[in-house]
Structure 1
Amino acid sequence: MRGCHDRAGGDPASDDRAVSDVLAFILVFAIILGSVALLSTIGFQTMTDYQEGEQVRTADRAMAALADNFNDVLRYDGVTAREGELSLRGGTVRTGSDGTRVNVSIDGEYIGNGLNTNSGGEFDLGRFEYGLDEDTVAYEGGGVIRADDGGSVFRERPRLRCDTGNHRAVVSLVAIQNPDDRSVQADGRIGLELTSVNRETVVREDVNKVSVNVTETEYETAWNGTFDRGGWEGDDIGGTCNPPGNDLTVVVTVLEGRIDY
Structure 2
Amino acid sequence: MRRDTPATTDRAVSEVVAFVLVFAIILGSVGILYSTGFQAMDDYQETEQLVNAERAMDALASNFNDIIRYNGVNQRYGELSLRGGAVRSSDSGTNLDILIEKDDENRSISDRDDAEFLQYYTGETLDLGEFAYTSDGDRIAYEGGGLVRGDDSEDWSLVRKQPHITCSDDREAAVISLVTISADDRSVQSSSGLGVTMSVENRSSAVYTDDVDSVSITIDDDDTAYNDAWNSTLDTDRGWTDNDNGDDLRRTCPADRVVVTIVEVDLEY
Q: How far, CA to CA, are the matches of 1:157 and 1:87 in structure 2?
A: 23
Give 3-state SS (helix, strand or coil) of 1:209's partner: strand
Q: Partner of 1:70 in structure 2?
A: 64
Q: Is the 8 A contact 1:98 1:126 kept in 2?
A: yes
Q: Supply the RMSD in Å over aligned alpha carbons.
A: 1.4
| One of 107, 113, 129 as aligned partner of 1:126 | 129
Task: State how 1:100-111 maps to structure 2 within 5 Å.
Answer: 100-107=94-101, 108-111=106-109
Unaligned runs of at least 5 residues, structure 2: 111-115
Q: TM-score, normalised by structure 2?
A: 0.89
Unaligned runs of at least 5 residues, structure 1: 1-6
Q: Partner of 1:81 in structure 2?
A: 75
1:175 counterpart = 2:172: no
Q: How far, CA to CA, are the matches of 1:8 and 1:87 in structure 2?
A: 75
Q: How far, CA to CA, are the matches of 2:53 and 2:79 in structure 1?
A: 11
Query: May I ask how many residue pairs the two structures share in their alignment?
Result: 249
Q: Is the 8 A contact 1:91 1:130 kept in 2?
A: yes
Q: Partner of 2:202 in structure 1?
A: 198
Q: Partner of 2:218 in structure 1?
A: 213
Q: How far, CA to CA, are the matches of 1:239 and 1:226 in structure 2?
A: 10
Q: Which moved more, 1:67-76 or 1:145-154?
A: 145-154
Q: Which moved more, 1:110-119 or 1:165-174?
A: 110-119
Task: State how 1:83-98 maps to structure 2 within 5 Å.
Answer: 83-98=77-92
Pairwise CA distance, 1:72: 0.2
Q: How far, CA to CA, are the matches of 2:199 and 2:60 in structure 1?
A: 14
Per-residue Cα deviation, 1:98-148 (whole angstroms, up to 9, x for no partner) = 11111111122222424321332x111102100011211000110110113
Q: How far, CA to CA, are the matches of 1:172 and 1:12 in structure 2?
A: 92
| One of 202, 218, 229 as aligned partner of 1:222 | 229
Q: TM-score, normalised by structure 1?
A: 0.91
Q: Is the 8 A contact 2:177 2:262 kept in 1?
A: yes
1:21 counterpart = 2:15: yes
Q: How far, CA to CA, are the matches of 2:194 and 2:204 in structure 1?
A: 30
Q: Partner of 1:141 in structure 2?
A: 144
| One of 166, 190, 193 as aligned partner of 1:189 | 193
Q: How far, CA to CA, are the matches of 2:239 and 2:161 in structure 1?
A: 16
Q: How far, CA to CA, are the matches of 1:134 and 1:119 in structure 2?
A: 31
Per-residue Cα deviation, 1:154-197 (whole angstroms, up to 9, x for no partner) = 1101011111211110101111111x210000011100011001
Pairwise CA distance, 1:8: 3.5
Amino acid across the alignment from 2:205: T
Q: Find the structure with the greater CA-based Rg.
A: 1
Pairwise CA distance, 1:59: 0.8
Q: Is the 8 A contact 2:90 2:131 kept in 1?
A: yes
Amino acid across the alignment from 2:71: D
Per-residue Cα deviation, 1:201-244 (whole angstroms, up to 9, x for no partner) = 0111131111111231000000001100432112242411125x
Q: Is the 8 A contact 1:224 1:238 kept in 2?
A: no
Amino acid across the alignment from 2:265: G
